[in-house]
Structure 1
Amino acid sequence: MNDRGTTSQAPEGTAEVAGPGRDRPPGAMRRGVSMAGAVALACLVHALAPFDEAARKGLALLVFIGTLWLTEALPLAVTAMLVPLGALVLRIPGVTTTSALASFADPIVFLFLGGFALATALRTQKLDLKMAAWLLSLSGGHFGRAVVLLFLATALLSQGISNTATAAVMLPLALGMLGSLGPACDRRTQAFVLLGVAYSTSIAGIGTVVATPPNAIAARAAGIDYAGWLLIGLPLAAILLPLMFVTLWCVLRPTLHRRFVPEMVPQPWTPRRVVTLVVFGLTVLGWIFGATPLKAWGIEGPDTFVAMAAVVTLVALRLASWQDVVRHTDWGVLLLFGGGLALSRVLDVSGASLALGRATADALQGAHPTLVLLAVAAFMVALTEFASNTAAAALMVPIFAAVAAQIGLPPEALVVVVALAASFGFALPVATPPNAMVFGTGMVPQRSMLRAGIALNLVCILVLTAWGTLRWG
């Protein structure tokens, strides 16, 4: 549930890693150049776009916001708040103060708040460490088996807590495993284990709506609920995780046939941990099976209802204090959601989405759906290596939703592909916080990350394209 460029709390005892746009803000000159460039590009688009006035205003705002998001000249959440301000200043027809700000209170925002609260409770009760310890204890001292279980534990944790927090929890375990091998542990094996932890968080994060922001953005745009996203994301994650293992093994050739002694701090069961696990399980069951009975009761937005009920229950039972929930909630991500939804609404009411969709559809006219899916997946993977995945998804989802409708694909086809591809940034340390964290250990050469990451990028693009073709082609 994390995105580089936002502020997220790591579990206690772990170090925060500065990602792009977090603790290394751009200099004044770079910020000024980026903002001036954004204004100039917006003015140019408004002057040259062959559309009506409302659509040109919408496209100008899109270019302005998109440039600031991609360059991170301002914090992403601050740029998100410029969306309603810009729409009101430009006097885009159909946009009022109330309608412009309504997106920041969209049900999907509260759904993600529930996800943050659950993650806080898991960390507070140390259930994340307990699950990891249990899985690693199953290895029996066999290093190769322990590595597989480490990747599995990482994948499971990333379904409920942020990718950054998951990596922060699992990285010390990975380093402990490598340290237990002593001087005999070679660089290739070190890179294999550490990159596997980082990549497992990103790949497994596509599995649920609340695991990472692009999923929620796409689910909201395509009208997909929690259970519906499970049917999309989990099978694909289950395919890609073994392929990740094989890809890393082929590129890095680690030595896994070794013995080691797991060093784990025991985490005994306590009443609070049991109750936390019960609340977590009931919440997930509510997300999966609660839609029908809740809608029958007259409750719209059942996923959000379940999430908010979970927040109240966790705080009321003191499984997590409200102060902890506030501290561990990434409010910047919630504002970014609101800005992305507001931008989507502006593009819709101004006619910019339709105009852009028609223009792109004309360019893609006659192209096979497989080629379209391949191009979109490759474009998003390349973009997310350099740009925030949440910002990229918020920017591209409304555009490609319109494109899909114009070229005859189901509206959700390109939207889902955009969101999934946004999670596949593997080649550069700056692509994701987990990448930066493992690179920061000094045990992963950048050349190894680049080779393994590019190979895995290609695998994910091809698998995503094939999967999209089978589903929608």
Structure 2
Amino acid sequence: MLLFVDLDPGNPAVTRMAAIILLMAIWWITEAIPLSATALLPIVLFPLMGIMRGRELSAARQIDLETATFADGFSASDFDIIFPNVANQYMDWVILLFMGGFMIAVVVEKWNLHRRIALNVLRAIGGQPHRLVLGFMVATGFLSMWLSNTATAIMMMPMGMSLVLLYEELNRKIETGGGVVDIRSSNFSLTLLLGIA
């Protein structure tokens, strides 16, 4: 529908871009096709609609060097402006860094390496609340050396939550049995979860 309305008469690519954004938003919201397939639409639609080029293009290669005349001090290499292509935008180094980190995280989670590391650290450190927090912080920090912080926190959070629930249940049993619960134990869950994050 946006293709029939001219948003910017001087630059028709603006209208085409708005149409692609609207199409992608509708497909994301309705999930008419998988989200990953919708995310790849710009690779196909941007070159077809003339928004970005499908392959890299250099301005200097478009100049006829035999007939071109340049002002004093200028050469063809001064006009070597690289126009970006669509596919390069998908393969930025930051995206590859996150993709590699999440791949390693999936492997670590599949083989329960995060659990083994956490349990070995907890066995070495002990079961007191402040030591448990230290143990989880050490295990999370150790895993964060190789994985992204987000992936590490996501892997360690379920173990931390299960420990918090176990600790709260233990405190309830102590209270119902007439025992005295340490005042600092109420801060344990917050401290442990912040230590993981």
- TM-score, length-scaled by structure 2: 0.51
Aligned to 1:196: 193
Residues 99-178 of structure 1: pairs in structure 2 closer than 5 A: 99-120=85-106, 122-123=108-109, 126-137=112-123, 139-147=125-133, 149-151=135-137, 153-154=139-140, 156-158=142-144, 160=147, 163=150, 166-178=153-165
Q: Distance in 1 between matches of 2:100 and 2:151?
A: 18
Deviations 1:154-204 (A, max 9, x none): 465356157467534541354145325535259x9599459926x944xxx
Aligned to 1:179: 166
Aligned to 1:312: none
Deviations 1:346-372 (A, max 9, x none): xxxxxxxxxxxxxxxxxxxxxxxxxxx
Partners of 1:46 and 1:60 within 8 A in 2: no
Aligned to 1:48: 7
Partners of 1:150 and 1:174 within 8 A in 2: no
Q: Distance in 1 between matches of 2:21 and 2:94?
A: 22
Partners of 2:164 and 2:189 within 8 A in 1: no
1:61 aligned to 2:47? no
Q: From 37, 40, 46, give the equivalent of 1:78.
A: 37
Distance 1:177 1:48, change over 3 A: closer
State the structure with bigger RCO (CA 8 A, min sep 6), 1 or 2.
Answer: 1
Distance 1:66 1:194, change over 3 A: farther
Is the radius of gyration larger for structure 1 or structure 2? Answer: 2
1:196 is aligned with what amino acid? L
Distance 1:140 1:191, change over 3 A: closer
Q: Distance in 1 between matches of 2:26 and 2:117?
A: 42
Aligned to 2:60: none
Deviations 1:403-433 (A, max 9, x none): xxxxxxxxxxxxxxxxxxxxxxxxxxxxxxx
Aligned to 2:53: 95
Structure 1: segments with no counterpart, 5+ residues: 1-39, 202-473
How many residue pairs get aligned? The number is 156
2:169 is aligned with what amino acid? G
Q: CA deviation at 1:80?
A: 0.9
Structure 2: segments with no counterpart, 5+ residues: 57-84, 174-184
SS in 1 for 2:41: helix
Q: Distance in 1 between matches of 2:90 and 2:155?
A: 29
